A = this chain, B = another copy of it.
Amino acid sequence: MIVRNLKDAAGTSRCVTSPSSESIRLLLAEDGMGFTFNVTTLKPGVEVQMCYQHHLEAVYCMTGRGSIEDEATGTVHAIEAGTLYALNKHDAHVLRSDSALELVCIFNPALVGTETRDASGGYPLIKNPIQQD
């Protein structure tokens, strides 16, 4: 059994910051769960263009308000507490925050933790070097 807390992860390597966000990686590939569990806070007034070509991602909004634009159709969906979106087709999208957005983000396959966003707005696929049982 693994037990972790958001506050213990602050300031450790689990906490990845960018100018627009802070992401705490509570579960990574090395944990052998088959998915990554991140808690990500997006600052207010941010616009991020993303496309995860190698991963499926589901995002659940715990607090805040914003929107997601499906770039293939131009459709904009409102995001508020209780909204989930799932990028089941590796959908190119733009995420916008009106207020700070506190999000749960699940990636499949799991991230190893060293990925950095590439030019396409996604993460490369990195094989987990740690043997899972």
Contacts and interface: CB of A to CB of B under 8 A. Distances in A.
Contacts of A100: none
Given A60-B26, A62-B62, A106-B106, A85 B34 contact: no
A86 B33 contact: yes
Count class of interface residues, chain A: 35 or more
A66 B77 CA distance: 35
Total copies of this chain within the assembly: 2
19 contacts: A1-B86, A1-B88, A1-B93, A2-B84, A3-B68, A3-B77, A3-B84, A3-B85, A4-B84, A5-B80, A6-B84, A27-B86, A31-B86, A32-B88, A34-B108, A35-B58, A35-B106, A37-B84, A39-B82
